[in-house]
Every structure is written in C-alpha cells, then in structure tokens.
Structure 1
Amino acid sequence: MKIWVDADACPVVIKEILFKAALRTQTETTFVANHSFRLPANRFVNLLQVEKGFDVADNEIVRRVCANDLVITSDIPLAAEVVEKDALVLTPRGDVLDKQNVRQRLNIRDFMDTMRSSGVQTGGPPALSQKDKQNFANFLDSTLRKVKG
C-alpha cells in the first residue's frame, strides 16, 4: 500500500502526522502538489510536483493510485474517482469515504455548489478541531497496522 496526499489543500498538522507515520511504518507516502514545499529528510516521503492548473494534481493521483492504496483528500470528486479504483480515502477530518458514502457526499457537494453559484452564502468548513486530528491519526494508525501487521 502507498499513501497519496492531495497536498495543495492538506493542513500542515495533517502533513506532520503523515510524515511521522510514513517513517514509523516505512510506508511510501507521496505528496502531490503544484508547488514545492519542504519535506523532512525521510526516505519514505516524497513530493511529486505537477504543473499548475485545474485538477492537475487530482488527475495525477487518479492516474497513479492502485487498489488498496490510501488517498488523503477533502476533494470529494477526487475521492469518488479513486474509490472507483478500489482505493481507500481518508479526509483530513478523519472521515472515511468509500463506495457506500462517496456518492452521497458528492451529491451534497454538488448541491452546495449550486447554492453558492446562485448567490447563497454557505460559509466555509469549520476549523480543524482536536477531535478531527485525533480521528485522522487513529484511522491512519489502524489502517497502517492492518496492512503492515
């Protein structure tokens, strides 16, 4: 199993959790982004920098992901595509997206997008809470234990 991270919008605290987990479990983790950023000196962590542009990073993740890989993203359309390839999806808030719930999430996302485009102020998501970070770390650890154990 490899971990693919939609890194452009991934919160720093989640990246730090991933850096530590990659080293601790010796799991290849690739951060896909359209800009460069510092990574720790860790042979299991790398950056795949793609061209700037709409969905370029997402498309690269979809192209490279394999069944049973883990994708870290809050991008619901990306999640829907990788779930179709039998990959696991974990949001930075610790929510697992799979074939049972990703279509529902996509419908809600599309509905909210329609509302925003018609002028309705929907507000953004709440800040990442301590509980969100803990949920993320717990799911990540349990998944890596299953795979590595």
Structure 2
Amino acid sequence: MKIWIDADGCPVVDLTIRLSRGYEVFLVCDTAHQFNRAGATTITIGQGHDAVDFAIVNRMAPGDIVVTQDYGLAALALARKGQAIDQNGRVFTNENIDFLLHTRHVGQEIRRAGGRTKGPKKRTRQEDASFEQSFSRLLTEKTD
C-alpha cells in the first residue's frame, strides 16, 4: 500500500508523512509548487487542469490511500478501488461521494451565475486531530 498526497494546497502534508511511517509516501504537485520532505518522494507534474489528479490516479493501485480535498480525485480513487480522505479526516466512500460531487456542482453553478459561496475557514487544531484519528484508523484497517 502506498500513500498519495495531492500536495497542492494540502495543509496536512507533514502530518501525513509523520503518521505514514513504514509506508511509501508520494507528494504529487505541479510545477507551481516545490516540495522536498524527508520521508516522502516528490513527483512534480506539468501544470494543467487536473494534471496532478490524473497523475495520481494513473500511478495508484487498489488499496492505496489518497489524501485530497478534491472530490473529483476522491471519486476517481474510489473507482480504482483505493481509499480517499480529506484534510479534515472525512473518509470518502461510495455512499457519500455522489452527494459531495453534487454539492460541488451546485456551488459551481452559483458562482457561474455571479453568486458567492463561502471560502475555507482558518484551519483548527481540532481538524488536525480529526485527520490524525481518521487517517490512523485507515492505516490500522489496512494492516489488519
């Protein structure tokens, strides 16, 4: 099993690497970002719409874990029989991904029509703790 991090804008890169001891960890980012972290291999992809997402999906294997806040990438990871988790510890499943994709679509439609949607809140320690708990549980389930 490998851990794939959609590293562009991911607030839990260091936490994920720390929790992933014993697993191969890959940070995948585009050329606009520079990552060099001990304990992880960085893969830099040329810029392009969803280029990082497709790079992860094309490299991952069933059973791998993808850390992403992108619902589209999460859906693709699930389709490849992988697992996906967001930066706040929400585990994406076949049961919740359709609703999340629909919610994203509605937000896009509102913005296209000139409306505004809320941006992300400031990150909290509780969100880090939730991620740590959920991610650790995923790793434990994989080793059982």
TM-score normalised to structure 2 length: 0.92
1:28 pairs with 2:24 = yes
Query: Once the 2 structures are TM-superposed, how far is the Cα of residue 48 of structure 1 from its aligned partner?
Result: 0.7
| Distance (whole Å) between structure 1 residues aligned to residue 119 and residue 99 of structure 2 | 19
Query: Once the 2 structures are TM-superposed, how far is the Cα of residue 57 of structure 1 from its aligned partner?
Result: 0.5
8 Å CA contact retained: 2:29, 2:44: yes
Question: Structure 1: which 4+ aligned runs deviate by more than 4 Å?
Answer: none
8 Å CA contact retained: 2:26, 2:41: yes
| Distance (whole Å) between structure 1 residues aligned to residue 109 and residue 43 of structure 2 | 33
CA RMSD of aligned residues (A): 1.2
List per-residue Cα deviations over 1:97-147 (Å, max 9, x = no partner).
110100110000000010011111112122222221111101111222232
Residue 142 of structure 1 corresponds to 137
Q: How many residues align?
A: 142
List per-residue Cα deviations over 1:73-117 (Å, max 9, x = no partner).
000111111111111110001111110100110000000010011
8 Å CA contact retained: 1:93, 1:128: no
List per-residue Cα deviations over 1:16-57 (Å, max 9, x = no partner).
11121223xx111101001322212x3xx1101111111111
Matches for 1:19-58 after TM superposition, within 5 Å: 19-23=17-21, 26-34=22-30, 35-40=33-38, 42=39, 45-58=40-53
Where does the alignment leave 5 or more consecutive residues of structure 1 unmatched? Answer: none
Greater share of residues in helix: 1
